[in-house]
Amino acid sequence: MSKFHYAILKHGASVEAVEFPSTHLYQLTALNQRLHKELAKLTAESVPQLPDVIAECEKLEPVGTLLRVIPGLEYVNELERTFAAVEEKSYPLISLLTEIRALQAQLEQWYEEELEDA
């Protein structure tokens, strides 16, 4: 079994893939769904635009250069920076940031363990 699986994300007209540890991909999909659900409750002037997870796959063989493949930790780090920059006054954004940061910490630990085992 491959150590990585892929989430296919659609953002407007663009499509990209996030390479994620296969043991954690379901968490990325669940987090994405929760963030989409909560976005409507944000009252900040600058609310992040999130891609939709449209598919998960075990193997990915991009053809050409149109599909960008993003490492999972890079994607989650950017997600955390994006939500940390939101100046929310009414909705408790901290709960969303806590969920993002929890996944971030799990990924960091996963990568550290992979480096130790290598």
Range of the domain at 92: 4-117
Q: How much is the pLDDT for 98?
A: 93
SS3 54: strand
If you average pLDDT over residues 72-77, what whole number do you get?
Answer: 97
* Interval 98-118: pLDDT, tens: 999 999 999 999 999 988 887
* Interval 19-46: pLDDT, tens: 999 999 999 999 999 999 998 888 888 8
Instruction: Say how far apart CA 46 and CA 87 lie, in whole Å.
Output: 8
Question: Which residues neighbour 37 within 8 Å (Cβ) at sequence distance 6 or greater?
Answer: none
Confidence of residue 18 (pLDDT cuts 50, 70, 90): very high
Instruction: Say how far apart CA 100 and CA 73 lie, in whole Å.
Output: 11
In contact, 9 and 52? CB cutoff 8 Å: yes
> Model pTM?
0.91
Quote the mean pLDDT of the chain: 91
What's the domain count of the chain?
1
Strands (E), the chain: 4-11, 14-21, 52-57, 68-71
